[in-house]
Amino acid sequence: MSQSQSRSTSPTNWQPNQQEREGLWIFTRVRDFVDNIANTSPARLALTVFAVVILIFTGLLSLPAASTAGTVTPLHQSMFTAVSAVCVTGLTVVSTATHWTFFGQLVILVGIFVGGLGTLTLASLLALMVSKRLGVRGKLIAQEAMNNAGRLGEVGTLLRIVIVTSVVIEAALALALIPRFILLGEDFWQSVWHGVFYAISSFNNAGFTPHSDGIVPYETDLWILIPLMLGVFLGSLGFPVVMVLQQNGLNWKKWNLHTKLTIQVSFILLAAGTVLWALMEWDNVRTIGHMDMGDKVIHSLFASVMTRSGGFNLVDQNHMESTTMLLTDALMFAGGGSASTAGGIKVTTIAVMFLAIMAEARGDADVKVYGRTIPQGTMRVAISVIVAGATLVSVAAFLLLSISGASLDRVLFESISAFATVGLSTNLSAELPPSGVYVLTALMFAGRVGTVTLAAGLALRQRSQLYHYPEERPIIG
């Protein structure tokens, strides 16, 4: 090799060509853009990341290769499915099993996994991947996403723990389900696919099923129902709670307040939902009235777990009693834990508001629980989340009533299911015209990112004031 050739290939003398310079310029601009948003408006970064991810999955689902018919899926259907997957909802306007090819189902499954990580986690991961670092406000928003589960310097480690935890739990669920599908007569690779699909769908509280008739054929099969319930319940607790349980086990004294409230309220809602659902449907022959006592209990427990964001169903929602539909509306709106794969207004929001009401009834100046005082700012955030959620559902229900002409109970059920990213349906989604589909699409997006981003934004935007106006109390109630 000549001396000139040696110099031209030496790393110290390397000079990028025109194409490489253009690539470096684009990368630099993207990195600067992400840095700027992450450090000035993390909430905007979260919204931007989720919107971009949804657009990517919409494009993939629009490809002819994603449809069994080999044609382009209409935009309102592909976008609705992409949003439902990324927002881990489970509502569908076309059959997951018959409309989508294996490629299409794989895109949906990847969307569920990515969306299950959450908006704030995705935004933090993007900032880490592009700029190789998180600014102070980027670390604050990532820490907020995990409920302050560590110090600022540990945020990168915590993000890795979130991903590893998801993969480990989903793998364990898949290993539990795969042998059962094999015993039921499916071939090995089909069993693997169904086991992995249900594992990811359940832990991320998505509710998508690769079978055309869902899980109804397995309504008495505990080998399948128990892993699904366990996956949904663990996913609804949230990553901060799971990490506390990993570190401290069942030692109640070492749990932080968030973990105590989340687990306590989750079990209260689970028990209350099971009992009330059973009482309301016990004699309904269209749902569980014809079953024996054991199957009725299983169906009631399964329904209680799934109504708070799981989305799997064993009975036709249209066949339930009106009182049961109202109970389901309430449980769906409540949702699961903060920073979890579940939706709704979150169980800690309910706990804080209940504690505030009890404190007001007793005449206490502070809201106290388990030896801790809940800050006034936290209660303002809880009120904001509840009001924002109720407003979004009300506006969407009004629009859907005008568009569809369906009954109020069906419209309200579908609206709350979309906002709370549950996925239970009266089949109204599939009956809506494109305009109604877009309304539900927007509601799913807002329900997944809106209240969480609002809560995080309010928690970080504490402006200092040098003065206070005189207090005056208006008449309340």
pLDDT confidence of 21, banded at 50, 70, 90? low
pLDDT of residue 131: 46
pLDDT of residue 45: 67
pLDDT value at 43 more than 80: no
User: 148-177: per-residue pLDDT in tens?
Assistant: 444 444 455 666 777 888 899 999 999 999
> How many residues would you count in the chain?
477
In a domain? residue 475: no
Above pLDDT 90, what percent of the chain?
59
pLDDT of residue 115: 86
Choose among 382, 358, 437, 345: nearest CA to 84: 437
Separation of alpha carbons 269 and 307, rounded Å: 10
More confident residue, 115 or 350: 350
Choose among 451, 205, 213: nearest CA to 307: 205
pLDDT of residue 283: 94
- Which of 213-222, 374-383, 451-460 has the weakest average pLDDT? 451-460
Write the CB contacts of 133 (distance below 8 Å, at least 6 apart in sequence). 127
pLDDT of residue 126: 52
- Which of 38-47, 174-183, 362-371 has the weakest average pLDDT? 38-47
- Which of 204-208, 267-271, 337-341, 451-455 has the weakest average pLDDT? 451-455
pLDDT value at 90 more than 80: yes
Helix%, strand%, coil% for the chain, nearest 5 = 70, 0, 25
pLDDT confidence of 5, banded at 50, 70, 90? very low
Alpha-helical regions (H) of 117-221: 119-131, 136-145, 155-183, 188-203
pLDDT confidence of 24, banded at 50, 70, 90? low
Residue 344 falls in which region: left (phi positive, over 0), alpha (psi -120 to 50) or beta: left
> How remote is the C-alpha of 473 from its chain's centroid?
39
Average pLDDT over residues 265-293: 95
**Mean predicted lDDT score pLDDT of the chain:** 83
Using only C-alpha atoms, the chain has a radius of gyration, in whole angstroms, of 24
- Residue with the two structure tokens 């769906």: 332
Residue 284 falls in which region: left (phi positive, over 0), alpha (psi -120 to 50) or beta: beta
More confident residue, 128 or 354: 354
pLDDT value at 3 more than 50: no
pLDDT confidence of 374, banded at 50, 70, 90? very high
In a domain? residue 476: no
More confident residue, 179 or 244: 179
pLDDT confidence of 30, banded at 50, 70, 90? low
In a domain? residue 123: yes
In a domain? residue 469: no
In a domain? residue 187: yes
Residue 443: CB atoms within 10 A of its CB come to 30
Average pLDDT over residues 336-348: 87
Residue 136, exposed/middle/buried by CB under 10 A (0-12, 13-18, 19+)? exposed
User: 418-474: per-residue pLDDT in tens?
Assistant: 999 999 999 999 999 999 999 999 999 988 886 656 555 445 455 566 777 888 878
In a domain? residue 404: yes
pLDDT of residue 378: 86
For residue 170, give its domain range: 19-460
pLDDT value at 9 more than 80: no
pLDDT confidence of 343, banded at 50, 70, 90? confident
In a domain? residue 11: no
Q: What is the pTM of this model?
A: 0.85
Average pLDDT over residues 281-308: 94
Q: Give how many domains the chain has, as a whole number.
A: 1
pLDDT of residue 265: 95
pLDDT of residue 463: 57
pLDDT value at 282 more than 70: yes
In a domain? residue 261: yes
